[in-house]
Amino acid sequence: MSDHKVEYGSTGKPHPFHVPEPSIWPFIGALSAGLFAMGMVLFMHDIEISGFIFGLKGVLLGLCSILTVMFFWWRAVIAESLVKGQHSPITQIGFRYGMALFISSEVMFFVAFFWAFFDASLFVNEAHQFLRMEYTQGAWPPPQIEVIDAFDLPFLMTMILLLSGCTVTWAHYEIAKGNQKAATKALGVTVALGFIFMCFQAFEYAHAHFGFSEGSYPSTFYMATGFHGFHVMVGTIFLAVCWIRSAKGHFTKERHFGFEAAAWYWHFVDVVWLFLFISIYWWGNSIGIQPAG
pLDDT in tens, 63-95: 899 999 989 988 888 887 777 766 777 777 888
- Split at pLDDT 50, 70, 90, the class of 126 is low
> Which of 97-111, 123-137, 194-208 is predicted least confidently?
123-137
Residue 214 contacts residue 136 (beta carbons within 8 Å): no
Q: What does the pLDDT read at residue 135?
A: 45
- Whether this model's pTM surpasses 0.85: no
**pLDDT value, residue 119:** 85
Distance from C-alpha of 64 to C-alpha of 59, rounded to nearest angstrom: 9
- Per-residue pLDDT at 291 exceeds 50: no
CA–CA distance, 204 with 187 (Å, rounded to integer): 26
- CATH architecture of the domain formed by 1-87: Orthogonal Bundle (1.10)
Nearest partner of 155 among 272, 286, 235, 273, judged by Cα: 273
Which residues are registered as beta bridge partners of 49?
52
With a CB cutoff of 8 Å and minimum separation 6, the contacts of 10 are: none
**Domain 89-293 CATH (choose: 3.30.1330.10, 1.10.3720.10, 3.20.20.120, 1.20.120.80):** 1.20.120.80
Which of the pair, 197 or 117, is modelled with greater confidence? 197
* pLDDT at residue number 136: 47
User: What is the Cα–Cα distance from 134 to 66, expressed in whole angstroms?
Assistant: 42
Per residue in 4-17, pLDDT (tens digit) is 555 544 444 565 66
Over the range 36-61, which residues count as b (16 or more CB within 10 Å of their CB) and which as e?
Answer: beebbebbeeeeeeeeeebeeebbee
Mean local confidence (pLDDT), 214-235: 90
Residue 146 is predicted with a pLDDT of 87
**Length of the chain measured in residues:** 293
Integer Cα distance of 126 and 148 in angstroms:
25
User: Is residue 266 over pLDDT 70?
Assistant: yes
Do you find a cis peptide bond into 141, omega within 30 degrees of 0?
yes
Instruction: Give the separation between CA 39 and CA 58, rounded to whole angstroms.
Output: 4
Evaluate if residue 2 carries a pLDDT over 50.
no
User: How confident is the model over 152-165, as a mean pLDDT?
Assistant: 96
d(CA 181, CA 60): 35
* pLDDT for res 235: 95
**What is the per-residue pLDDT for 5?**
54
pLDDT value of residue 293:
40
> How does pLDDT run across 99-121, given as a tens digit for each residue?
999 999 999 989 999 998 888 88
Average pLDDT, the chain: 84
Asked if the model's pLDDT at residue 155 lies above 90, the reply is yes
Each residue's pLDDT tens digit, 25-47? 899 999 999 988 888 888 877 77
Query: At 4, phi and psi to the nearest 5?
Result: -70, 150
What does the domain layout of the chain look like in residue ranges? 1-87, 89-293
Reported confidence tier of residue 157, pLDDT bands at 50, 70, 90 = very high
